[in-house]
Structures are given as structure tokens and as C-alpha cells.
Amino acid sequence: MCAGPVREWVDLGRQPVSNAFLMPEEVDSETFFRLAVGICADCTMVQQLEPMPTDNMFRPDYPYRSSTSAGLCSHFEEVAHLLRDTELTGVDDLVVEIGSNDGIMLRRLSAAGVRHLGVDPSAGAAAAAAASGVRVRVDFFDERSAAEILATDGPAKVIFSANTVSHVADIDTVFRGVDRLLTADGIFVFEDRYVSDIVEYAYFDQIYDEHFYLFAVRSVDAMVARLGFELVDVERIPIHGGSVRYTVARPGSRERRPSVARMVDEEARYGIGEHETYLRFGRQIERIRTDLVALLTDLRDAGRRVVGYGATSKSATVTNYCGIGPDLVPFICDTTPEKQGRLSPGAHIPVRPYAAFSDPYPDYALLLAWNHAEEIMAKERQFVEQGGRWILYAPHVRIV
Ligand code: SAH
Ligand code: TYD
């Protein structure tokens, strides 16, 4: 990130591409890497030590679809309203979204007649966005594509991105692209998972190939300053177990809100940036691994049925770090058609359609999509009424 010395924090072992759900004949040709993260002694950025090449991750058949969660749909509807009401007030203002996926955010702005462009290399997700009226460029956002967009569409008043900026190891090229494309008074707004929440709640499964950087306000502040921008506002948002919305502008073009200094102070008090904080995390996740495997083994030996709920990217880290395979969790149910009928990466647990969950209900469901717990538990009242129980694993293993 800044060429400072990076010290290893945690090693989650040999891991696959987290969204590479396999056909049975593909199991022998999987790509693995060592999933380990470290922290920079200078800028405090938490980052992976041995990146998985981007081309292995965001392929045309990348199966993740943002709109599978009702909670995310309403979150991005609010984002669209916010951008439209506060920033996209001119008739001709352009908004560009980096990592627009299936159009979950831009389709609202498109319906409102706002000039827009989504940029996403995953052709399948982009086709879904186009089907909902969103203009998409199937491409990686970088300096090259930004220059081409500038030539065809002109400058952007707003560049937005959610859960994507942290995925790009060569982040400088994203900011060089933003520098080319953004108007003089424009803003670059991005949302991403918050490392402070990951550490506090031992959300070790938020570490997987795509999350190359784990952002803190302090590290993002240093990063954007190095790249010629200014962090002018930050806001905590309750997405994916705890995220932060960062607002970045050209230096001096916007007032820097007190929220930035306040969160940097909070992080210093909490020990973000100190190695000791991260060592505690390592001990905690070893405990989770031991307890979760013991619980699943006991349930299996007692003849109880356990099913995984949500074939998340996160679940690749959990199953492969803990060594959980189909012997302990016979299948994972998921609503995404692109994942169904395939095997989970590395652990090779079959992914079955959502209908399999209640046919018949299992005794226990391992909630792998815990970041949507409220939505899922509200939807699955009948499972609990019939005696079913949820298994959660972070910050500690428990049955609820
Ligand atoms: N913004 C959505 C999707 C996040 S998933 C949400 O928050 O739910 C990350 C998305 O970023 C994927 O669709 C992936 O194809 C895309 N992506 C990855 N690298 C990218 C890059 N360099 N430029 C644009 N999109 C990228
Ligand atoms: P998510 O946790 O959003 O992402 P990540 O892959 O980044 O860890 O993925 C949620 C997954 O859970 C997705 O594959 C859809 C699935 N899902 C269900 O099967 N049922 C549901 O009710 C919800 C909300 C999600």
C-alpha cells in the first residue's frame, strides 16, 4: 500500500477462490493460495500477503448477485435517494458505479432518469443489470477504462462503489482512474467492511481472497492523502456486520467533517494499528475452530441433521479453515441459481436450492449468511417453531 513494513497478523491456511463454485468434474483443477493478512507498521493498512490473481476471481461466470438480499436492496435504494437528493441535482450530472454487479443501486437512478454508467467485469451480473435498465460497461475500472469513459461520457459528478474498492490489490490504478474522471467539485463515495468490527467480533470469515484490504478510517485517510485526495466524511453503516461509508474529494474542495477525526481517535483508543490487538484475534479464532468442529461432530454422532444456510464467500474461509466437509454439513442451501447444483470451493459441500431447506427442515442450521441474520431469522420462523435451532460461530460458537 505505502511501501511500509508489513507484519503478518493471521494465517488462514490454504484457501480456494471463494466464489468458484464447482461442477463435480472440476474438483481436480481448483486454484488455491495461502490466505494470510498482515498490517503495515506505517499506515496501519491490513492487507493480504499473497494475493490471488484478479482474473481468477471476477470471471464472466462470477456467481455473486447483490439482489439476493432484501436488506441490501433497501440499503442501496436509500443510497440512490441520498446521492440523487444531495449530489446529482443537475439535469446532466453523471454518476459512475465501480462494481455495479446486478444493478442493485443504479437501477433506482436509471428509473429516475439520472445519467449513469456501471462498470463491472462480471458479464453475468452485468447482463442482469442491463435487463433492469442499467447501462453497464463490462470491464475493470482502472486508469485505462476511466480515460475511455471520460472520452465518451464526460466527467462524473459522483463515483460510487460498494464492497469493491478493497478488492483491488492495485488500488492506485482505481484512484488514478477516479482522478481522471471526477469533476473538480465531485465526490468519490465508497462503502466497505470495517476492520474494527471484524476484530471486535472475531469475524474471521470476512477475510477471503476478494477482501484484499481491510479498511480502517486511519488507513484509508493515509491512503487517499497519498493518492492526492482528501477523506472528508465517514459514517458507520450496519451492512455486512459493520461497514463504513467513506466520502473522498479533491483536497480543499469540500469541508472535512469532524466525523473523520472522531473515528481516527476511537480507533487509536481501541488499538487499531497495534499488533497486540490482532494477536488476541488469532487466539479467538482458533477457539472458534475447535468449538465449531466439536459441536458439529457431536451433532453428527448423535444422528442430528445439520444444514448450511447461505453459500457465502465467507463460508469458504469457515469451511476450509475449520476443515468442515460434507461429512459434517451434508449440504448448503442458497437462493442463487448460479451456485445451485455445484460444490462449494475447497470443502466440496453440495449447494442445493432454497427449497431443500424445508424438505424436511433440519434439526440445526449453520448460519453462514450471518450478516443477513435479521432478514433470514424473520423469514424462517417456522423452522424454529418446529424445533429447529441456529448455529452461530462468531464471536463464539453458540446455538440460538
Ligand atoms: N456493489 C455490489 C457488488 C459487490 S461484489 C454490492 O455491494 O453488493 C464486487 C463486484 O465488483 C463484483 O460484481 C465484481 O465483478 C466487481 N469488480 C471487481 N473488481 C472490479 C474492478 N476493478 N472494477 C469494477 N468492478 C470490479
Ligand atoms: P453475502 O453474505 O451477501 O455475501 P458474501 O458472499 O460476500 O459473503 O451472500 C449471501 C448469500 O446467501 C448469497 O449467496 C445468497 C444467500 N442468501 C440466501 O440463500 N437466503 C437469504 O435469505 C439471503 C438473505 C441470502
- Looking from the CA of residue 140, the nearest atom of ligand 1 is 23
Residue to mutate (ligand 1; options 59, 83, 97, 167; most atoms within 8 A of CB): 167
State the DSSP H helix or E strand holding residue 236, giving kind and residue range, or none if neither: strand 230-237
Residues with pLDDT less than 50, the chain? none
For the stretch 177-200, pLDDT in tens is 999 999 999 999 999 999 999 999
Residue to mutate (ligand 2; options 206, 334, 357; most atoms within 8 A of CB): 334
Task: For residue 334, report the distance from its CA to the centre of ligand 2, in Å.
Answer: 7
Residues in the chain, overall count: 400
Rounded (10°) CA dihedral 272, 277, 282, 283: -150
> Over pLDDT 90: what percentage of the chain?
92
* Nearest ligand for residue 123 CA: 1
- Looking from the CA of residue 376, the nearest atom of ligand 2 is 22
Q: Could you tell me the three cell numbers for 324? A: 468442515
User: Does residue 312 line the site of ligand 2, with CB under 6 A?
Assistant: yes
State the DSSP H helix or E strand holding residue 195, giving kind and residue range, or none if neither: helix 195-200
Task: For residue 69, report the distance from its CA to the centre of ligand 2, in Å.
Answer: 7
Q: Could you tell me the three cell numbers for 273? A: 494499528
User: Does residue 136 line the site of ligand 2, with CB under 6 A?
Assistant: no
Q: For residue 158, what are the β-bridge partners?
A: 95, 187
pLDDT for residue 241: 96
Residue to mutate (ligand 2; options 64, 65, 163; most atoms within 8 A of CB): 64
Task: For residue 66, report the distance from its CA to the centre of ligand 2, in Å.
Answer: 8
3-state secondary structure 22-49: ECHHHHHHCCEEEEEEEEECCCCCEEEC
User: Does residue 334 line the site of ligand 2, with CB under 6 A?
Assistant: yes
* Nearest ligand for residue 162 CA: 1
Residue to mutate (ligand 1; options 101, 243, 244; most atoms within 8 A of CB): 101
User: Does residue 314 line the site of ligand 2, with CB under 6 A?
Assistant: yes
For the stretch 292-312, pLDDT in tens is 999 999 999 999 999 999 999
User: Does residue 58 line the site of ligand 1, with CB under 6 A?
Assistant: yes
> How wide is the angle at C-alpha 394 spanned by C-alphas 201 and 343, nearest 5°?
130
pLDDT for residue 344: 98
3-state secondary structure 270-329: HCCCCHHHHHHHHHHHHHHHHHHHHHHHHHHHCCCCEEEECCCCHHHHHHHHHCCCCCCC
User: Does residue 192 line the site of ligand 1, with CB under 6 A?
Assistant: no
User: Does residue 219 line the site of ligand 1, with CB under 6 A?
Assistant: no
Question: Locate cell 500500500: which residue?
Answer: 1
pLDDT for residue 70: 96
Residue nearest to atom 4 of ligand 2 (CA): 312
User: Does residue 335 line the site of ligand 2, with CB under 6 A?
Assistant: yes
User: Does residue 315 line the site of ligand 2, with CB under 6 A?
Assistant: no
User: Does residue 145 line the site of ligand 1, with CB under 6 A?
Assistant: no
Closest CA to 352 of 295, 309, 393: 309
* Nearest ligand for residue 368 CA: 2
Q: Could you tell me the three cell numbers for 332? A: 448448503
Residue nearest to atom 23 of ligand 2 (CA): 69
Three-state SS for 381?
helix
Q: Are 272 and 218 in contact (CB under 8 A)?
A: yes
Distances (CA, A) of 321 to 26, 53, 292: 21, 21, 11
Question: Locate cell 461497514: which residue?
Answer: 243
Tell how strand 94-98 and strand 156-162 pair up: parallel
d(CA 78, CA 373): 20
Q: Could you tell me the three cell numbers for 385? A: 417453531
* Nearest ligand for residue 137 CA: 1
Task: For residue 200, report the distance from its CA to the centre of ligand 2, in Å.
Answer: 22
